[in-house]
């Protein structure tokens, strides 16, 4: 299984980015997909999750109304549209896949079975 994230970068506050994550080696349409982020010195933090069909999403409060998670099951790809970015959004962003068999907390890292290598997002003030 591989999750390849890309699309991070450097942007000014108020700007937008749209990281994506391409999955291979798994039945993508059966997996919930999530984005987490980790800033230096901080624990990995849940950002957003989308159900296998794409019909249900959930976000951490700090990004609600600014970020949008979506997926294209035909392309084995999950996206994170990030608008109105703030300096506190600066972090490495990771995509993660949750197996249907995983009964862990889907808002925490233990709820996910596979992880990508991350893509850096830096927001300047």
Cβ burial, residue 21 (10 Å; 0-12/13-18/19+): buried
According to the model, what pLDDT value does residue 30 have? 97
Q: What pLDDT does residue 117 have?
A: 93
Helix (H, G, I), strand (E, B) or coil at 77: strand
Residue 62: phi, psi to the nearest 5?
A: -70, -15
Please list the residues that pair with 15 across neighbouring strands.
none
Q: What gap in Å lies between CA 27 and CA 83, rounded to an integer? A: 30
How much is the pLDDT for 111?
96
Question: pLDDT tens, 39-80?
Answer: 999 999 999 999 999 999 999 999 999 999 999 999 999 999
The predicted structure's pLDDT at residue 123: 98
Confidence of residue 12 (pLDDT cuts 50, 70, 90): very high
Instruction: Give 100-125 pLDDT, tens digit per residue.
Output: 999 999 999 999 999 999 999 999 99
In the prediction, which pLDDT does 113 show?
A: 97
């Amino acid at each position: 299984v591989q999750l390849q994230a890309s699309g991070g970068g450097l942007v000014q506050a108020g700007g937008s980015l749209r990281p994506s994550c391409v999955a291979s080696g798994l039945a993508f349409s059966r997996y919930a997909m999530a984005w987490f982020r980790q800033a230096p010195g901080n624990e990995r933090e849940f950002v957003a999750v989308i159900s296998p069909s794409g019909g249900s999403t959930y976000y951490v409060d700090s990004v609600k109304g600014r970020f949008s998670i979506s997926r294209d099951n035909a392309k084995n790809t999950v996206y994170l549209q990030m608008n109105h970015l703030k300096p506190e959004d600066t972090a490495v962003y990771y995509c993660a896949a949750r197996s249907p068999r995983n009964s862990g907390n889907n808002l925490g890292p233990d709820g996910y079975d596979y992880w990508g290598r991350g893509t850096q997002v830096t927001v300047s003030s």
